[in-house]
Homo-oligomer: A and B are copies of this chain.
Amino acid sequence: MTTLKDIAKAAGVSHATVSRVVNNGPKVGPVMREKIHKLIKEMGYRPNANARALVTQKSTTIGVVIPDVADPFFATLANGIDKVSRQHNMQLLISTGKLSAESEREAINLLLERRCETIVIHSKKIADDELIELFKANPHFVLIDRYIAEIKDKCVWLDNKEGGKIAARHLLSLKHRQLACITSSYEIEDPKLRLTGFVEELAKANITLDSQRVVSAEPTLQGGEIATQKLLASGQAFSAIFVYNDAMAIGAISTLEDNGYSVPNDVSIIGFDDVLLARYSRPKLTTLQYPIDLMAQNAAQIALHIGHEQSISIDTLKFIPQLIKRESTSTYF
């Protein structure tokens, strides 16, 4: 690869001069500047980002830790970060940490070795304490989809509990009284919080959700099918189901219809996330919108600005899911 020195030699100047024109620095004569530009083009010179990062002590890379690139939810998250990154001439370095503390740690470490000081982390498995320590040491870290009080000014999060409440209120307003819940079997906080919110709100209406009516499975389409089969097999009666996410909800609809139940005529279904799928499904899915794209953009902005002028108001860090009423829920008769 062509280097600064090569260009310098060809131009008959020192490499410092070439560096100046590459960086649009001052103190270079217009003639020389022109000549060097020409040479750079001819010889196909590209600055070495590694060398640059080494000497300037800053990288033009923003790191992202997510469990999986293929999952539409995380893909959207990454895309949100990408959008604001390119505005700041930063590039995305994705490090996948498959839902285990060990691999999340590993993913962060790899990013740290790359010296990308700016990192947006989606971590569900690393313990609070460890994360707190990590964030104290790295001022440009931002945590997304998780709230830890001690570092709350670095957390961009969704109020899952409130989401559960909103779902409950919606179903109650449609006169449903026999409710069921399909939740995720993953050992993370989100399903618990959503369920808690749901149950609390039902309690206000004097409805208790007995444990027989709560089934769990993997948070996937297949998981939704399996969970629904379990629910059906249990013989419980229900007119509406609050489902952990859209993928499971669509699996649930599929199984329900295969068993002769019509959605929403016989059973109302409400999902969570509002992924693309929700709009494409038939019936179109009523769900709670998880504004992950917006949240990711927000997180990136905070990560890039922290330490700079702006002070961020905590209010902008907490997001509330919004009810998207479509076709999968209807009034109970």
Contacts and interface: CB of A to CB of B under 8 A. Distances in A.
Interface stretch (A47-55, A207-215, A307-315): A47-55
Contacts of A281: 280-282
Interface stretch (A66-74, A141-149, A171-179, A233-241): A66-74
A247 B277 CA distance: 10
Interface string A226-252: 000000000000000000000100110
A216 interface: no
A276 B68 CA distance: 15
A72 B72 contact: yes
A221 B284 CA distance: 13
Interface string A57-87: 0010100000011111001101100100010
Interface string A81-106: 01000100001111110000000000
B96 A86 contact: yes
A115 interface: yes
Contact of A50 (B91, B115, B282): B115
B279 A276 contact: no
Given A280-B250, A280-B277, A46 B94 contact: no
B69 A75 contact: yes
Interface residues of A, number: 47
A59 B48 CA distance: 12
A185 interface: no
Contacts of A257: 282
Contacts of A86: 96
Nearest to A95: B91
A276 B71 CA distance: 10
Contact of A76 (B50, B70, B94): B70
A48 B113 contact: yes
Given A46-B113, A276-B277, A70 B75 contact: yes
Interface string A4-19: 0000000000000000
A112 interface: yes
A109 interface: yes
Interface of A: 1, 46-51, 53-54, 59, 61, 68-72, 75-76, 78-79, 82, 86, 91-96, 109-110, 112-115, 221, 247, 250-251, 254, 257, 276-277, 279-282, 293
Given A50-B54, A277-B280, 12 more contacts: A46-B109, A47-B113, A49-B114, A51-B54, A69-B69, A70-B72, A82-B96, A93-B94, A221-B280, A250-B280, A254-B282, A257-B282
